[in-house]
Amino acid sequence: MRHTTLLMVLLALFIGLGGFMLNFDIGYTGSVLVMRPFNDAFGHCVTKPGSKIPVCALSATQQSVGSSIYLIFLAIGSGLSGISSNWVGPRGGLQVGCIFIIIGAAGMVGSTGNFTAYVACKCIGAVGLGHIQTMGATYGVDCAPSRKRGLLVALYTTGANIGNLVSSCVCLSSQHFATNWSWQTPIICQIPVAVIFGGGLFIFPQSPRWLLTKEKTEKARKSFARLYNRDPASEEVARQLEDTQMAISEEKELSSSTNWTEIFHHNFIRRTLIALAINICASLSGAFFIFSYTAIFLKGVGVSSPIEISVIINSCVVVGGITGPVWVEYIGRRRTLLAGYSGMAVCMLTFSAVSTGLGGVKTAAARGVLIAFLCGWAFIFGGFISSTQFMASAEMHAVRHRTYAQAFTSMIGNVFSFAASFWGPYMLNVKYGNMGTNVGYFYFGLEFLALILLFLIVPENARLTLEQIDEYFTSGRKAWKTSLARNKRIAKNEINIKDD
């Protein structure tokens, strides 16, 4: 059963709302740091000689803690999502995440004047976002047909990219408020979205593959039937059930244990490491520098209207994200990732090299080049990396391990996201790294290394069923010998996945 139904499309669009929540939070986190009311509420205030009005500002440590420590709890949430989703399924795991988000947002709004309370509540919300980040793509991958899986699941990251843009627009509007509403407004916006998302998920069926891992065959049959708009007693539903049950049985035969540690077993460790590499490379690609610290970075190098330009850059991510599902489905996961890291590396290298050659960004031409290549980087990230990362990593895991394995790899990826976010202010602050535009050289190096690593290890999964992906990992075929063209032939039963 490879056809796409209306329910599948609606599910993919709705899961995109989860991605929206994730990146909306990440987007406003950095923008509020430059708002005057936020600094007045939480910063250190000093009265300068000759002035009666104190000037309040966050320290570099507060900037790092306020915009990065929550990523540790995002990682914790990703890890916990494996446990909660194993109990209540991927759909239930997403709903658990919504509860944490609502509690965290409500607490942040009431934390004025207490930076510790603000950070603590943000960490509570981050546990929920970890559930959303991990189980959004997992739920989508489990429920989408192989033929359009890339196109549908990539809508999750399209929603995430839109979340970045909307967050920037909200902050652009609210920054003009002279009261605490300037930074509280984007936080409050999270609450109704989480309520709608968590409640709306009841419209859709539970993951049928998860139900089969729990030996709930009849519920899985009904779930497949709803997704594919077929009668539960139809031959197509019976065939899909049989294929999935067979794949689960084969996985059990390869296992030496019956718990989550199977993902480290020699028959599955390769899959875990590939998914881990995809997530870590995305975390270190410069995304958290661009999306969390663009306003601070641009302000530090002398560019006026940093928040307005942040909106433009986030708009480029959205435009790129709109094209993402097409690249993922019709070019393939592997080539999309490789093209993305190649393009981003060129953008980072170019804006740093031009700034070095022109002696900084003192001229309008130098500032124009900087902004242009940041926009180019954002377009490429949205279209090629963001649209591929979560889906490609979720596809790598065995059917029986997907919730635990994706939770683990997302958790470790978020630890690296924390590191990338934490060092950001220190790289830019004049009292510490003071790297300025030289930061591009640093991220060029990381992106080039990611390009080499992913070329060597990431196979092409487009057009393959999840059960055929399982078969690929027992075939011994090298990643660079896989291709979308070959997968199309496999999907048409012209060749076997293990054929040379």
415-427 confidence digits (pLDDT tens)? 998 888 778 777 8
Q: Does residue 148 or residue 106 have the better pLDDT?
A: 106
- Tell me, what's the pLDDT at 99? 97
Q: Which residue has the tokens 């993902």?
A: 263
Domain ranges of the chain: 6-43+59-213+258-458
Does the structure show a pLDDT above 60 at 2? no
What pLDDT is stored for residue 410 in this prediction?
92
Nearest to 153 by CA among 258, 335, 290, 18: 18
pLDDT score at 80: 94
pLDDT score at 185: 95
The CATH class that applies to domain 6-43+59-213+258-458 reads: mainly alpha
pLDDT band (50, 70, 90) for residue 256: low
Q: Taking residues 190-201, what's their average pLDDT?
A: 96
- pLDDT over 90 at 483, yes or no: yes
Token look-up 């929920």 returns 128
pLDDT higher than threshold 80 for residue 383: yes
For range 79-87, the mean pLDDT = 92
Residue 357 CB partners (closer than 8 Å, separation 6+): none
Distance between CA atoms of residues 328 and 334, nearest Å: 9
Q: What is the mean pLDDT of the chain?
A: 88
**pLDDT score of 254:** 66
Which pLDDT score is estimated for 300? 67
